[in-house]
Amino acid sequence: MSSVITVENLSKRYIIGHQKRERYTTLREVLANGTKRLADKMRHPFAAPENDPTHEEFWALNDVSFDIKQGDRVGIIGRNGAGKSTLLKILSRITEPTSGRVSIKGRVASLLEVGTGFHPELTGRENIYLNGAILGMSKAEIMKKFDEIVAFAEVEKFLDTPVKRYSSGMYVRLAFAVAAHLEPEILIVDEVLAVGDAQFQKKCMGKMEEVGKEGRTVLFVSHQMAAIQNLCQTGIVLNRGCVNFIGTQLEAVSKYLSLEQGYTESLISRSDRRGTQGMRIVSITFVDAAGREIKSAVSGQELGIRLHFDRSSVSDYPRIIAGIAVKTDLGVPVFLQHNRLGGYQFGPLPSQGFFEFRITRLPLPPSAYRITYSLINDGTYIDALSDAAELVVSEGDFFGSGEVPPISHGLCLVDGKWSVQSIPNP
């Protein structure tokens, strides 16, 4: 399919002003300094004065380039301040870029923040017609979709009430309903859906998926990685105003979470652990069937997870419970294991050593997983830490057929046997 959005070397600069502390000044000095600043501003209206500590350049976007084809559902993800909203404002023609070029083919409907495009003094009914006119729709086209919009937004009772009296949730429901039902070729949605309740968010996700299947293009910004995975086909990761990664939505989410979490910090230096600290886990390693340390695993292999400890307490904790919890990179629990589940007691512990949990056949599909651990003795936490390590699982021949379903089809791999039998006629 042809490209409907082409972004080439896009950059956006803002000038940030800083208030500096000044000594006591006279009225004459204030007037003189104000006159000087006004003269400088008239001579250079868009430039920050050189060597002026009260002004600073900030590049919200820096040399961003990508193509989006018709019918693509694209998730744009990144941490706060990465440039996501600035990019959407430029694509929606709300603000101009400092440099670069944007080419858009088709009618764009945007939902960037609560109440965007609504006039607070107009009623919900009037704002539906106003937004439709802004999108280039005729009155007949708007009337054709009017009942669907009202039903979707669930604001029929307040349709003739000025929207300034709407709650933020009602604002979002009506704004999204208008943007999605007036048949734009390109639908741009920012994080605003977080304002709505869970039922409405689910309805919105279904509508955006429907819009994408109709061949229209959806750009979606969200910090909800599950929504990105379920709705989008492609992901763009922004980091500090630059494109960090472009690929499938699963790859993009994994890349973003690796940037966010970064399991490079030593466990010893982690300050967010809890417990009495009479024993501490100092590192977590993964080993294969032969006990060799590995950096990643494959589906179906034998895997050992080792919790290396250092015991400083005089107590040897004979009744200690060592446990691990495994979650997906979206924080969805996969499984919990500890030695009490299997009825195993460690007995007196050495000063240094490791606990090992061994999995005969790793039943996890390809993805990145978070490891959380805990050490508990007689109901008291000795040491516990969330997201202490990352386990990366690659595709392996779990079933012996050369085929492994992706994690989007299920959180675990289950082996078994199929058969077919006939039922005798009575």
Q: Which amino acid is at 329?
A: D
DSSP, collapsed to helix, strand or coil, labels residue 300 as coil
pTM above 0.75, yes or no: no
d(CA 331, CA 56): 38
Residue range 17-70, pLDDT digits in tens? 655 555 556 777 767 777 877 777 676 665 555 555 556 788 999 999 999 998
Spatial distance between the Cα atoms of 148 and 114, rounded to a whole number of angstroms: 21
Domains in the chain with CATH codes: 69-260 (3.40.50.300), 267-401 (2.70.50.60)
* Tokens 């039902």, residue located: 181
Contact by Cβ (8 Å): 128, 152: no
What does the pLDDT average to over 255-260? 70
Backbone angles phi, psi at 198, to 5 degrees: -60, -40
Rounded-to-integer distance, Cα 307 and Cα 357, Å: 9
Question: Residue 235: which pLDDT band, with cuts at 50, 70 and 90?
Answer: very high
Q: With the CA atoms of 198, 202, 208 and 212 taken in that order, what torsion angle do they form, in degrees rounded to the nearest 10? A: 150
At 307-361, the pLDDT tens digits run 999 998 888 898 999 999 999 877 889 999 999 998 999 988 999 999 999 999 9
Of residues 365, 359, 361, 363, the one with CA closest to residue 404: 365
Whole-number pLDDT of residue 14? 87
